[in-house]
Structure 1
Amino acid sequence: MADKQQLIDMGFAPERVDWALRATRGKGIQEAMDHLVEHSEEPVPPAEEQAQGADAAGEDEGLARIGDTANSIKCTECGKQFRNQAYAQFHAEKSGHTDFEESTEEIKPLTEEERKARLDEMRSKLAEKRAKQALLDKEEARANELIRRKAGKETLDAREELKRKEAEKDAARKLQEKMADIAAKERVRAQIEADKHERAEKVRLEKLKREGKLDETAPVSALAAAPSVPRASGAGANAKESRLRVRLNTGEMWSGSLDADSGTLRDVEQKVIADGKSQGPKLELSTTFPRRIFTEEEKGRTLRELGLVPNAALEASATQ
Structure 2
Amino acid sequence: MSTDRQMLLDFGFEEARIDWALKATRGAGLQPAMDHILANQDKPIPADGGSSSNASKAAGGEGDDDEDEDMKLAISMSQGGSSEQEAKSIKCSECGKVFRNTAMAEFHAEKSGHDQFEESVEEIKPLTEEEKKQKLAELREKMAEKRAKKSVIDAEEQKANEALRRKAGKDAGRIKEDLQLKEALKEAEQKKREKVEEAKAREAVKAQIEADKKARAEKAAKEKALREGRAVPSEASTSTAPAPAAPAVKKEYNEARLQIRLAAGGAPLTVTLPATDTLRNVAEYVASQSLAYDVDTVTFATTFPRKVFTKAEWGQTLKELNLVPSAVLMASQ
Alignment TM class, shorter chain as reference: 0.5 to 0.7
Tell me the residue number matched to 1:7: 8
Q: CA deviation at 1:60?
A: 4.8
Alpha-carbon distance change, 154 to 63 in structure 1, aligned in 2, over 3 angstroms: farther
Residues 1:159 and 2:176 are matched in the alignment:
yes
Equivalent residue of 2:91, what SS? strand
| Aligned residue type for 1:184 | A
Conserved 8 A contact 1:83-1:107: yes
Structure 1 length as normaliser, TM-score? 0.60
Quote the Cα distance in structure 1 between the aligned partners of 2:213 and 2:172: 61
Please identify the structure whose Cα radius of gyration is greater.
1
Matches within 5 A, 1:232-271: 243=249
Structure 1 equivalent of residue 103 of structure 2 = 86
How far apart in 1 are the matches of 2:37 and 2:96? 19
Partner of 1:109: 126
Aligned counterpart for 1:56 among listed residues 33, 55, 64: 64
Residue 240 of structure 2 is matched in structure 1 by 224
| CA RMSD, Structure 1 to Structure 2 (Å) | 3.3
CA contact (8 A) 1:23 1:87 kept: no
Aligned equivalent of 1:42 = 39
Deviation at 1:50, TM superposition (A): 4.8
Q: Which structure 1 segments of 5+ residues have no match?
A: 233-241, 245-320
Gap change, CA 1:224 and 1:184, over 3 Å in 2: same
Relative to structure 1, the CA distance from residue 149 to residue 70 in structure 2 (aligned partners, 3 Å threshold; closer, same or farther) is farther
Alpha-carbon distance, 1:61 to partner? 1.5
CA distance in 1, matches of 2:140, 2:196: 83
**SS at structure 2 position matched to 1:74:** strand
Gap change, CA 1:10 and 1:96, over 3 Å in 2: closer
Distance in 1 between the 2:229 and 2:152 partners? 114
Q: Label 1:82 to 1:16 Cα distance change in 2 as closer, same or farther (>3 A).
A: farther
1:270-281 equivalence runs, <5 A: none
Asked whether the 8 Å contact 1:16–1:36 carries over to 2, the reply is no
2:20 pairs with 1:19? yes
Given candidates 173, 185, 202, the residue that maps to 1:168 is: 185
1:123 match: 140
Q: Check conservation: 2:89, 2:123, Cα contact below 8 A.
A: yes
* Number of aligned residue pairs: 228
Task: Summarize deviations over 1:292-313 as a string: whole Å, max 9, x none.
Answer: xxxxxxxxxxxxxxxxxxxxxx
C-alpha distance in structure 1 between counterparts of 2:228 and 2:6, whole Å: 133
Q: Are 1:61 and 1:98, in contact at CA under 8 Å, matched by a contact in 2?
A: no
Contact kept? 1:17, 1:32, Cα under 8 Å = no
TM-score (norm 2): 0.58
1:39/1:51 CA distance change after superposition, 3 Å = closer
Alignment match, 1:134: 151
Aligned-partner SS, 2:90 = strand
From the superposition, tell whether residues 5 and 40 of structure 1 become closer, same or farther in structure 2 (CA, over 3 Å): closer
CA distance in 1, matches of 2:142, 2:227: 126
Taking a change above 3 Å as real, the CA distance of residues 190 and 115 of structure 1, as seen in their structure-2 partners, is: same
Per-residue CA deviation, residues 241-280 of structure 1 (Å, 9 max, x unaligned), is x639xxxxxxxxxxxxxxxxxxxxxxxxxxxxxxxxxxxx
| Bigger relative contact order (CA 8 A; separation at least 6) | 1
Instruction: Give how far 1:99 is off.
Output: 1.3
**Cα distance change on mapping 1:76 and 1:213 into 2, 3 Å:** same
Is the CA contact (8 Å cut-off) linking 2:91 and 2:119 kept in structure 1?
A: yes
Q: 1:63 to 1:224 in 2, by over 3 A?
A: farther
How big is the shift at 1:144? Answer: 1.3
2:198 counterpart letter in structure 1: D
Residue equivalent to 2:319: none
Q: Report the equivalent of 1:196.
A: 213
CA contact (8 A) 1:72 1:107 kept: yes
Task: Report the Cα distance in structure 1 between the residues aligned to 2:89 and 2:14, rounded to whole angstroms.
Answer: 27
Deviation at 1:180, TM superposition (A): 1.6
* Percent of paired sites with the same residue: 47
